[in-house]
Structures are given as structure tokens and as C-alpha cells.
Amino acid sequence: MAWVYLLIGAVFEVGWAIGLKLSEGFSRPFVSVATVIFIFISFYFFTKALRLVDIGTGYALFTGLGAAGTAVIGMTFLGDEAGTGKVFFIVLLIVGVIGLKLSDGEKESVHTVQEG
């Protein structure tokens, strides 16, 4: 369940990061309030996940997914530059996040075998 919490937190992280851009320096009240709400929701799920996941892995996944998602949304909908290098490194970031998740799963199964 921790991974679901991290994923939900990362989705809301993308939401508040985009909200920061769209709030135009917190000068647009509705977008600003939505952004603050997304921040709270994002960190709520992140802290729930950290009860079950190592801080290093959890934080790397949370920020990595959030950064990649924000970059993709920015390039797709907000006119951010989408050069080959940028896309390559976003893909590399996602591969790294997947690698962290898979390597953490190995650790869990090792503990399960040792305890049983």
C-alpha cells in the first residue's frame, strides 16, 4: 500500500507544481488555494508512505515521479521546451525510479525469507 500512497502523493505533487506556475505568484486566488490544498494532500500521502518505506527510497520515488510528471505536463500543455536531451533524461529518471522500486522489493523479499 505504501507504493500506492507514494504514487498518489506524486500525482498531487505534479498538481501543486503546475499550480505554482498557474497561480502567477499566488495572484490568482482560486488556483492559489487549490495549489495549497494539493500541497497538503501530496505530503499527507507521502508521510503515510514513509511509515512503510525507507526515507531515501521513498523521497527519491516521490520527487522523481513528481519531477518527471511535472516536466511532461509542462512540455505537453504549458509550452515548455521538449528537446531530445530533456526527453532522454526524463526517461532516464523514470528508469531510475523503477530501478529503485525494484531494488527495494528485493530487500523486502530477503527480509521475508530470513524471518520465515
What is the per-residue pLDDT across 18-43, written as a single tens digit (0 to 9) for each? 999 999 999 999 999 999 999 999 99
User: Which among 63, 94, 85 is positioned nearest to 55, based on CA atoms?
Assistant: 63
Phi, psi of 78 (to 5 degrees): -110, 10
**Contacts of residue 23, Cβ cutoff 8 Å, sequence gap at least 6:** 31, 32, 35
Q: What is the identity of the amino acid at 50?
A: L
DSSP state of 14: H
User: Which among 45, 58, 64, 57 is positioned nearest to 5, based on CA atoms?
Assistant: 45
Write the pLDDT tens digit of every residue in 52-103: 999 989 999 999 999 999 999 999 999 999 999 999 999 999 999 889 888 8
**Contacts of residue 58, Cβ cutoff 8 Å, sequence gap at least 6:** 2, 6, 46, 49, 50
pLDDT at 105: 64
Q: What is the identity of the amino acid at 17?
A: A
Write the pLDDT tens digit of every residue in 41-65: 999 999 999 999 999 899 999 999 9
Specify the pTM.
0.82
Phi, psi of 24 (to 5 degrees): 50, 60
DSSP state of 54: -
